[in-house]
Structure 1
Amino acid sequence: MVALPDALGCSAARLHASQDLVAGGLKIYRRQSTDRAMGQVATAASDRGYLVGISLAPGHVRRVLRGRQGDAHHFDHGSVYIRSFADDYRADMRSPFDFVLLELAPSLFDAGSAGHCGRRVAGLRGLTGVADPVLSALGRALLPALARPHEASALFLGQMATVIETHLVERHGDGLAGPAPAVGGLAPRHERLAKEMLASRLDGAVSVAAVALACGLSRSHFARAFRASTGQSPTQWLQSQRVEQACALMARPGATLAAIAAACGFADQSHFARVFRQIKGVAPSRWRGA
């Protein structure tokens, strides 16, 4: 039986290492082969977005085919390539290779998800075998998560995705579309990241400024966009999460209201009671006894 190619067009039987991880809006892969006769890698045109490859070792050579013609490209340690999935791709792999690869969805370049560097781009410029030390370092930082995905921090990966995407837009963005439009809501991946960061510390130890930075936005821009997406300010949203957590704890017998207030990040029991009444319309003790 002939082995089918994987999502990147590689023959699994000829790969020495193959690792996949989806996190922070990115699909992250590692593909490694010690085979000097890997053969051809091919993907048909699709709407999957862009593929960014970062070489982890020197000496790789591939011949990228266009019809009957082809061009040979040499990769050093840290060399990168960017290609659009919108085009058919065929390449003869003429030597061993080791790459970390990032698949970026086309939604990254939608107007609704713009916000990197205060500008929008239509996509990324295609390139092959070009040095990019920053992107190379970011790609290598993902290797431990790829090797042990069950131990990977979703918060770390979400922040890494934002940093990588921002760098790609700044360094390799194509088709400058002018200033970002007036602030609407957060991009879905930024909304998820913001909520994860805020909810990770109900005591409010994660600042709005830190969350904004992780999303690649200014503090004021983030605050307006967060309200547009959720109908609440970040502080209001966090308070509502504290109250919901308190309700879950009050449903269990034994814990005192003072203990619940402390566990949910409130300054004291009176602070807890005041916020709870504002959100639920009744005192915690009355809600608990209902």
Structure 2
Amino acid sequence: MTSPVSTPRPATMKKDSLGCPSNLLRKDLQVESGDITFYRKCMDQPELERIAMPACERGFLVGVSLNSGHRRKIFRGAQSIDRRFHDHSIYIRDFSEDYRADLYGNFDFLLVELPHTFLTRLADEHNVPAVRGLICRTEQEDAVLGHLAGALAASIEAPGSLDTLLIEQLGLAIGTHLARRYGDLRPADERIKGALSAASVTRAKDMLLDRARESLSIADVARECNLSRGYFIRAFAKATGSTPHQWLLEKRTEQARQLVETTDMTLSAIAQSCGFADQSHLSRVFLKLVGAPPGAWRRRPAG
């Protein structure tokens, strides 16, 4: 096993907003969704890098490891903690504390920045006391969070435009899971509210299908239904059998199948007409929901 080596770095090396040398990263992506910011950070080399950031009021940073092999030494005063990461290992960093660590490369993380505004809003939506903080064990692993993070990472890295509804939906699930498992967010009595009337279901569907509202968020639709985001997702799924994002994909695929069967439009034009990011996105979703790629579906024998 090759040991990490420390090599001299230029004084002008660029650091990202988390203190990491960005020019050493194979992946370096950032996506904002509502109050949450997501980062994809990957470094393949076993380089030794020191991270040092002063305390600030940004809230909390949660790191979810998507591979094994990374290790770091975290310094707290005169003490140090050696940490090794595996698939689904996580850490929680409180930005209100100074942070110093030696990172020994070989990492693949999805990072979630949760500001205090997100936790306050989440507590308000659940009508429960505010979340006072997030904390986990040093060697914490979380398979649920790991799978959610993997799905969100795949969405961020998918070609074409971002699927903002899916990212928002996954982000809310991640944030709620963190607040409940590692904070003190108490589950609310969901029997009190959360039902969608027939009129609200119709309104929500019309808003989701309105192609003129490309920047539409789940929060926008939930607000129209006088529900919080979390309540709306659960109530919509109860009423329709699908989450808002899945329902929208199903409807767009139905529209695309009709055009594939009844017109000579190119698959690229159909993808654009039905709201898919591109032809590749249409093909992936069509194959999953219909059982065959759109081109093969068009060429299948009639009858």
Per-residue CA distance 1:164-217 (angstroms, 9 max, x = gap): 11111111114x68979xx9xxxxxxxxxxx997622369xx997xx7888122
Question: Is contact 2:126–2:187 with CA below 8 Å preserved after alignment?
Answer: no
What is the RMSD computed on CA atoms of the aligned residues? Answer: 3.8
Instruction: Please say if residues 122 and 177 of structure 1, whose CA atoms lie closer than 8 Å, have aligned partners that are also in contact.
Output: no
Secondary structure, counterpart of 2:230 in structure 1: coil
Task: Find the aligned partners of 2:176 and 2:13 in 1 and give their Cα distance.
Answer: 37
Indicate which of 99, 102, 105 corresponds to 2:115. 105
User: Are the structure 2 counterparts of residues 113 and 214 from structure 1 closer, same or farther at C-alpha, using a change threshold of 3 Å?
Assistant: closer
User: Do the aligned partners of residues 164 and 111 (structure 1) sit closer, same or farther apart at CA in structure 2, a change above 3 Å counting?
Assistant: closer
2:229 aligned partner, one-letter code: C
- TM-score of the pair, normalised by structure 2: 0.58
In structure 2, what is the Cα distance between the partners aligned to 1:88 and 1:112?
26
In the alignment of these two chains, the number of paired residues is 206
Going from structure 1 to structure 2, the CA distance change for 1:114 and 1:128 (only over 3 Å counts) comes to: farther
Where structure 1 has 5 or more consecutive residues not aligned to the other structure, the ranges are 184-194, 223-290
Shift of 1:112: 7.6
The aligned counterpart of 2:153 is: 143
Letter in 2 for 1:57: N
1:3 aligns to what?
13
Q: 1:1-290, aligned counterparts within 5 Å?
A: 2-110=12-120, 113-116=123-126, 120-148=130-158, 150-174=160-184, 199-201=207-209, 215-217=229-231
Percent identity of paired positions between Structure 1 and Structure 2: 32
One-letter amino acid matched to 2:171: A
Choose between structure 1 and 2: higher strand proportion: 1
SS where residue 173 of structure 2 aligns?
A: helix
* Shift, 1:126, TM fit: 4.4
SS of alignment partner, residue 138 of structure 1: helix
Following TM superposition, by how much is the alpha carbon of 1:107 offset from its aligned partner in structure 2, in angstroms? Answer: 0.8
Q: Which has the higher relative contact order, 1 or 2, with Cα contacts under 8 A spaced 6 or more apart?
A: 1
2: distance between equivalents of 1:167 and 1:102?
12
Shift of 1:153: 1.6
- What CA distance in whole angstroms lies between the structure 1 residues aligned with 2:206 and 2:63? 32
SS in 1 for 2:16: coil
Unaligned runs of 5+ residues in structure 2 are: 1-10, 193-202, 212-217, 237-303
Higher CA-based Rg: 1
User: Measured at CA, do residues 152 and 117 of structure 1 come closer, stay the same or move farther in structure 2, by a change above 3 Å?
Assistant: farther
The aligned counterpart of 1:248 is none
Alpha-carbon distance in 1 for matches of 2:92, 2:55:
15
Following TM superposition, by how much is the alpha carbon of 1:129 offset from its aligned partner in structure 2, in angstroms?
3.4
The answer (yes or no) to whether the contact 2:126–2:188 under 8 Å persists in 1 is: no
Which amino acid counterpart does residue 45 of structure 1 have in structure 2? A
